Amino acid sequence: MNPYLWVMCNDSEEGKRLPSLVSLKEIEPTETTMEVVLIDRHGDSRLKELEDRAQELYCASENTLVLVEKLGQLVAICMGNFSLEQGDLHKRWKLVSRRLRRYRKCMVIPIGSLTMGLCRHRAVLFKPCSDLTVGWVEPS
């Protein structure tokens, strides 16, 4: 782990808050194996496309169960079919992560740029898509 990042997270003064996004973006991806997955609704055009598609699904869904299933399918389309990838998923994820971090020249990865992901990445992507349905009450 990058010693500076460790200090930012654990020093008695600096450790009281999360490192800033600017600080995280300055860390060379070769200096750490950590990654930060970013949800940026304004700067991540692919995430915006997914949210727009989720909104369409929301408007077309008859009930909550159907909507949740369709949102799960949307995530699976974006990040691959989890059940088919279980064997070498972690190895493939490390390769994708390393390439993205090298390409972006930092450890911060926008969620929309992920073409595959582990369970945590799929959950992080599902969250902003499902947030569009908050407050939706199924008709009785």
Q: What is the pLDDT of residue 118?
A: 84
- Which of 15, 9, 14, 38 is CA-nearest to residue 107? 38
Q: Output the pTM of the full model.
A: 0.74
Beta bridge partners of residue 36, listed in sequence order: 108
Locate 28 and state its tokens. Answer: 């060379």
Give how far the C-alpha of residue 95 lies from the chain's centroid of Cα atoms, to the nearest Å: 16
Locate 21 and state its tokens. Answer: 């996004």
Per-residue model confidence as pLDDT tens digits over 85-125: 556 777 888 888 888 888 988 889 999 988 888 888 888 99
Tokens 């990654």 -> residue: 35
CB count within 10 Å of CB 67 equals 21
Per-residue pLDDT of the chain (140 residues; tens, 9 = 90+): 556 666 666 655 554 567 788 888 888 888 777 788 899 888 899 999 999 999 999 988 888 889 999 999 999 888 876 665 556 777 888 888 888 888 988 889 999 988 888 888 888 999 888 887 655 544 44
